[in-house]
Amino acid sequence: MSKPLIQIDDLVREMTDEEHAQYLEDIANAPSFPADPADA
Amino acid sequence: MPVPDFSPGETLTAAAMDSVGLWLVKTQAVGTGVSTIVVNDAFSANYDNYFVTYTGGSASATLNLSLRLGTVTTTEYYGNIIYALPNNPSAILGLSNNNSALWGFAGDGSATGGARLAVNLYNPFQVLRTGMSVAYMGTGSSGAPFGIYSGNHNLAISYTSFTIGTSTGTLTGGTVRVYGYRN
């Protein structure tokens, strides 16, 4: 399964294992609004 | 310093150019389907304070855009967002980042509304704590949050780069622009 893409300046590539681990941690800890805003 | 008043064909002097208050430091086009964007060489000794924007892109889902100085996860990101929803404006709400690894409400995106970010950063290059203020603009309509977000990175570290992240989903297209405020 491919990993998410990271862009570093003009370079777009799959995340390394280390970057992916950080990404997953960021997603897990991402703050959010109590109710999803209407996507209108 | 006087306000610049240029004429067509005029040779611009160093003094005239040095009086320009806001200078475009870097432009970064965003690719397709990216979850994280690292912008290098954004901050330097030339400017103390910066204005960072991301506009013109699309988001795959309703998401928040985060901002981290440099690329490495740390702690010590603090911030409060005060916001309301247009369909319930009497309820003024608040959320915090308390010793987080990033600032979590730097921008917004939605599948139908695009993605936007507008952040002022104060002293990111200097070996000082970095301040941050954001005009949070939900990209939806009546149910989208609009508010003000400000905070502090509680470490006196010099940074030259920053990272824009997504709380979920991906970004496609648009442009990140970094402006320096003339000291």
Query: How far is Cα B151 from Cα B112, in angstroms, rounded to an integer?
Result: 29
Query: How far is Cα B64 from Cα B67, in angstroms, rounded to an integer?
Result: 10
- CA-nearest residue to A32 within chain B is B64
Over residues A1-40, the pLDDT tens digits come to 799 999 999 999 999 999 999 999 999 888 888 764 444 4
Over residues B115-136, the pLDDT tens digits come to 999 999 999 999 999 999 999 9
What stretch of H or E contains A28? helix A17-28
Question: With a CB-CB cutoff of 8 Å, which residues 1-30 of chain A face chain B?
Answer: 4-10, 12, 15, 19, 22-23, 25-27, 29-30
Is A38 within 8 Å of chain B by CB? yes
Do the beta carbons of residue B38 and residue B161 sit within 8 Å? yes
Residue B163, beta-bridge partner list: B38, B68
Query: How far is Cα B45 from Cα B68, in angstroms, rounded to an integer?
Result: 19
pLDDT of A40 reads 41
pLDDT of A35 reads 60
Cβ-nearest to B31 among A12, A22, A32: A12
pTM summary value: 0.92
A40/B144 CB distance under 8 A: yes
Tell me the ipTM for this assembly.
0.89
pLDDT of B108 reads 93
B138/A40 CB distance under 8 A: no
